[in-house]
Chains A and B, each alone.
Chain A
């Protein structure tokens, strides 16, 4: 550090000293400036977002409960161990007590055990339905987007055919698509997964194609084209990876939708009839019949569904915000 000052140019203080001092002051000025790549910046914003933290915490808890459920579950969720204590027809239900923390369901099964195992099955439904919708939708949308990007009359024709099909499916509400599929497959847990997943395909397809088209108009694509980079490399190496952001956000949000729609399908009677593998949707649907006498039977799975869906929605929305360049400060 230089404390002694000589103001005259070319004075006794050497040039090196004044450069050092300048560097130090510049560093002090820049101390709170941020740097880094777009993605890292987005991730940095995500980590500081209270929405994302809350969402991630909820999802984390949900996943841990789901994974540990088979090991910690106190009773067999399918066994009607206390069947005689409950008489739904005479409005006799058993609420929370020392041995059954959440009370008993309408058949005398331990509600707490069913909630734990239900977490596992609901997670399974959400993840598999989303994976199905995501992969098939991304395949269709990516194919259409790449077909346009790779150009040619055939590419555009392929795109038109795919997108007409997708638009057709979008014109029918997704729950009705799910209902018609569920009707074919008959009630089961697999039905719910497939029906909910297939209903999400057009959304993912449209999103990825739109995102790819938007990216293909970006300046860097023009630059790469001008530099003579091969089209296939531009589309697959640059456009596609850069277009995935909104699709991943949508997948996170779909995890929430899938769990809710699964419940709706259960309510319409296409849910899982197997008592050994309860899921929250089926539990909520079953409990609808006893809403007046034992509202808590519905409230446990309902609250679980709402909170879990909220977790995925919060994380998804926070991701969307952090990826949006317009919202950057």
Chain B
């Protein structure tokens, strides 16, 4: 990779043959070797049996009960954490941008969001165990002072609800980071014009702000969805392998072929790429919509 600068042609302008493309070769070689080919390898493998013959057997394996179950739970967690994260993140961004709060709040929120959206993985799981685990501070405080035992209500930090609550810690800040620029794009004049014409706050949001904002909001939520769907570390550190979600099942499969069919792992990987790919494609379509409108 360090050869990238030396491989640039020295005086490309003086040569009749156009050698400009040489300058981007290192980048494309890297992308091929460490991103595109390994991914393509799995995608091809999903359609092959152990001897390399074409088969749809692996894809059919995705319909096995425990695999299908894993996809379903992953899907639910991703939907729940992206919907809740999207809503709460939007409210926070709205409060910071349009809430007429003291000036220091917005930059503080943005900086904190930058930190928290990157505070994922194993340490985040530890933080939530210390908060809502059986010995966690909030669990103990609720039990001691309010006589509420959240664990007797069926709550567990190791469950669907617990994991969703934990994912929100990086989902909400991510939403704040993505949606704040869109909120900043709302022009003051629109609100003033609406007020002059006798429109209510509700009407302003229903007929003016939301039609402008919804592609950004929906697009951002699709990104959050993909973000949650592929996450491994937080879930693994929090629940071990007790929660059957796709990334953890795939992790276990890679470590020790728990599905008893190596190529079924390829099919699972393919399924993940298709789902996160669709979410991202949706995001890009919606983004081009906002770009055209210039919002």
Same complex: no
Residues of B within 8 A of A (CB): none
